[in-house]
Structure 1
């Protein structure tokens, strides 16, 4: 654990989910593959679109409607719907298919291997201070066994604009009933988590299990208060 500033008393913690409490990278790879497998099985006409075509379409529709980046579930739905409409589907048929495809993707998305250490640390922390989760993703915290530790899970899209926007941080502070400076936000992303926390008055803990060097990170704009490579040291910060 590395300290960059003296900490204020920590009266609550907020956590990012993806790539902080579990490794989300293989999950996303599997979820993407599930979409392509589903398209191939149920909508074989989609073979005319390559993965690069789908990725290009995903970026194109986000440029047309930037708010989609704040709701990744809706973004995925729109991707499938618009992609199928470009292949000649009627709107109603494309919408029905998109709902089905989204269910398939989310089922894989919520098949997450949460480390036993994550459960141990969160269980102990939850007995000491209030915990709340703030995520830009669309994992279901209850389905992956983490919802039990949090008084609330705030999700971008459903609950407001994605981090680093103020929406979710402001709601978290209000729900916890605490001044922001007494809340420590823990997350892996230097912009959305560290930057978002600091811009919104929270203390920031950078979760760096990849052992990256802060001084060489191009996205590092705001210094975290502390840096950890494992979750267990958080137990030493709260009594």
Structure 2
């Protein structure tokens, strides 16, 4: 990283899966990383792994959908690590169901974490980024933004994040801040494993069925997404903004 000072990154939903892999990768790139998730105790495990590898990390427990909690978390990160200049909005949940079975609570829960959470986190960090005249906001969308049976709430939220990304790119670009989205395809995580369980099939059978439709012939790993985040968070991606990068093992339709 071509800077004389250590940049600070916040990764939400970083206790496991894509978020944990991203936090570790950014730490390996030289960032001081705030590992943020609902359960601070689990965050501490990831933070300890980062520190054990020679990196700098801080475990932060916060609900990204809670305005006061978000503001307090960002203030804590600033006080203990420094002003955040990279934000990865990765926190997410699923409440899958067909439309006629989906409750308003299931709809609201997904919207609150994905959309409200990304809004609150981005608003909280932008003041530090605009002051520094440098920043990277990376939002985690999904191929489900293109539509996916049983995911009306999740698909709408992930599509909404793409519009949010493009708008922030327009608003914040003049301050040296880029805003991009990454849309993963099928990634082997606890979330996809829970989907298989909900469907009543083994994860292996579920994965193998999906892989048949992936041109590169394999499922994605959390590190595949972390690699893309690391690129977009770096100095070399400074002329890329408002884009949606599909990381799905092939073209999307």
* TM-score range relative to shorter protein: 0.3 to 0.5
Higher RCO (CA 8 Å, separation ≥ 6 residues): 1
Q: Which one has the bigger strand percentage?
A: 2
CA radius of gyration, larger in? 1
